[in-house]
Amino acid sequence: MSSIRQRTLTLIIGLLLSGLLIISLLNLHDSNHEIAEVYDAQLAQNARLLQGVMRLPMASHEHAELYQAFNKALGEAMPKVDGHPYESKIAFQVWNPQGEVLVKTASAPSFQQPPSTPGFSDVIDLRQRTWRAFLLEDRENNVRIWVGERDDVRSDLVNRIVRHTLWPNVLGSLTLAGLVWLAIGWGLKPLVDMAATLRARHSGSLEPLQMMPLPSELEPMQSALNRMLAQIQDTLGRERRFIADAAHEMRTPLAVLRVHAQNLLEPGSEEERSDSLRHLISGVDRTTRLVNQLLTMARLEPEARIVPGPVINLENTIRDSLAQLTAWLLDKGLELEFEVGPGDYQARLDAGAVTIALHNLLTNAANFSPPKGLITVRLLSEEDHFELSIEDEGPGIDETERDRLFERFYSRKNDQGAGLGLTIVQTIARRLQGQVRLENRPSGGLKAILEMKRT
């Protein structure tokens, strides 16, 4: 795509040239019309002046002498010496009723027969030259007065006017185009400076742009670029934190797995080998859970609010998720109850995020429940939010540890946990414009409550 300056200049100069062409055509049309009007008026005026002379009270022989004097004077005209070159292109002649010429200029055209239609007309003489003529009939003196001028006189005058008008317009347009070029360059200078600043930046630089002052049109662009740079910087920071956290948390489980694998290679009793193998399988399971939790945290790390999806039935979503976990809970020797309060559970919520939060809360409840313990899941519909609670019969929590339970990798006396479950739930709660709370039950156990705002 061409540059903004080139596109703008092409458009403006195109409009200027188009306007100049239209104005020139209008000037040509108006000049032709006005010149024709002025010259026609002069032709009619000259004919009537000649008519006035012809009406002077004279005897017949005096009129004849007057005609001879006219012819003699007109024949002596020398336009190149003491007159004007256009004199030879302007003519008049007078006829009597018999068609005899009484007065005639030397430049007057010759006709096969005298014109007979009064008024203005365009005629062609025997030499194929076009004349603009005015014929006046004087019935009082029985004469016809014809006054004409060559058409090229008018054309020459129009051409002179157009030339004298067109060249200043052309020169003025070229000068204006140059000024427009400079004006556009001056107007686009902030954009050129911004482009130069961006090109000069190091490819790895994520520092925000600080170009002040900026035109109002470029301020949103700078703000958008700074937001994008901040998002990129935040994304890279999250990636670095994720890599550091993953490396830190994976180091110990992998070292333990290596120890158990070495024990399998060393000679020993079958019982020791079986014990090392069980520890190895348990370590692989814990490492798998840790990897899954880390990947979940990486997906949920951005603080941006989840974009609401289609309308879902929250009760059905919870029920389907519990159905998937029932077999696992039964295998652990636990019982599960699901209670739903009255109300409408249609809402625009992210079903995947709700499912992840539920699975993490249920996993925590299962890890701390006693054998044959009961886990109760309740779903309530409030005026402006939903409330999902999971109750277990475990030991509960120490009030002094309540805040630390939401820290990354803080595991509360659970060797199988990665310390990320509640952190994930808290992240989801914030993105769902809600919150998560932990409360000790009076009868013993822990109650985790997830609130989700209606949308």
Instruction: List, for residues 128-137, the tens digit of each pLDDT value.
Output: 788 888 888 8
Structure tokens at 65: 């002498």
Question: CA 319 to CA 322: how far, in whole Å?
Answer: 5
E strand or H helix at 146: strand 143-150
Taking domain 4-161, whether its CATH number is 3.50.50.60 is answered by no
Given this model, what pLDDT does residue 247 score?
63
Q: Quick count: other Cβ atoms within 10 Å of Cβ 245?
A: 16
| The predicted structure's pLDDT at residue 294 | 63
pLDDT band at 413 (very low <50, low <70, confident <90, very high): low
- Map tokens 């609670």 to a residue: 389
User: Residue 111 above 90 pLDDT?
Assistant: no
Averaged pLDDT, 55-75? 63
Average confidence (pLDDT) over 354-370: 85
CA distance 1 to 248: 50
Output the CATH code of domain 219-299: 1.10.287
Q: What is the mean pLDDT of residues 131-152?
A: 84
Question: Is pLDDT of 300 > 80?
Answer: no
Q: Sign (positive/negative) of CA torsion 397, 403, 406, 412?
A: negative
Q: What is the pLDDT of residue 47?
A: 83
How confident is residue 271, by pLDDT bands cut at 50, 70 and 90?
A: confident
Model pLDDT, residue 64: 61
Chain segment 189-200, per-residue pLDDT in tens: 877 777 777 777
d(CA 255, CA 367) in angstroms, rounded, equals 24
Q: Specify the pairing of strand 119-124 against strand 130-138.
A: antiparallel
Distance CA 273, CA 355 (A): 39
Mean pLDDT to the nearest integer, 223-252:
71
Reported as a pLDDT band with limits 50, 70 and 90, residue 297 is: low
Please name every residue paired with 146 in a beta bridge, in sequence order, or none if there are none. 93, 135
pLDDT, residue 304, reads 47
Identify the pLDDT of residue 252: 53
Percent of the chain with pLDDT over 90: 6
Read off the pLDDT band of 2 (50, 70, 90).
Answer: low
Q: Taking 50 as the threshold, does the pLDDT of residue 277 lie above it?
A: yes
Residue range(s) occupied by CATH 3.30.450.20 in the chain: 4-161
pLDDT at 68 (0 to 100) = 66
Where, residue-wise, is CATH 3.30.565.10 in the chain?
Answer: 307-453
* Among 386, 375, 390, CA closest to 313: 386
Q: Residue 302: pLDDT band by 50, 70, 90 thresholds?
A: low
Output the six-digit token pair for 265.
């290679």
Query: What pLDDT, on the 0 to 100 scale, is given for residue 209?
Result: 76
Q: How far apart are CA 24 and CA 18, in angstroms?
A: 10
Tell me the H-state helices in 266-381. Answer: 270-300, 314-331, 351-368
Name 337's bridge partners: 376
Residue of 126 and 365 predicted with greater confidence: 365
- What's the confidence (pLDDT) of residue 379? 93
Res 360: pLDDT: 82
User: Rounded distance, CA 272 to CA 281, Å?
Assistant: 14
19-33, 271-285, 361-375, range with the lowest pLDDT: 271-285
Residue of 280, 283, 282 whose CA lies nearest to 263: 280
Confidence at residue 81, expressed as pLDDT on a 0 to 100 scale: 47
Higher-pLDDT residue of 327, 74: 327
Residues 6 or more apart whose Cβ sits within 8 Å of residue 445? 391, 392, 393, 394, 395, 396
What gap in Å lies between CA 453 and CA 321, rounded to an integer?
20
Q: Report pLDDT for 306.
A: 52
Token couple for 343: 């109300």
| Tokens representing residue 116 in the block | 């007979």
pLDDT per residue over 307-359, tens digit each? 556 788 999 989 988 887 787 788 788 999 999 999 888 888 888 788 878 88
Q: Which residue has the higher pLDDT, 406 or 431?
A: 431
pLDDT (0 to 100) of residue 5: 73
C-alpha to C-alpha distance for 389 and 378, rounded to whole angstroms: 5
Task: Give the HSE-up count for residue 28: Cα atoms under 13 Å, Cβ half-sphere.
Answer: 12
β-bridge partners, 121 = 133
What is the pLDDT at residue 411? 60
Domain with CATH 1.10.287 in the chain: 219-299
Mean pLDDT of the chain, nearest integer = 77
The pLDDT assigned to 53 comes to 75
- Residue 95: its pLDDT value, please? 84
Tokens of residue 200, six digits:
């000069």
What topology does CATH give the domain 307-453? Heat Shock Protein 90 (3.30.565)
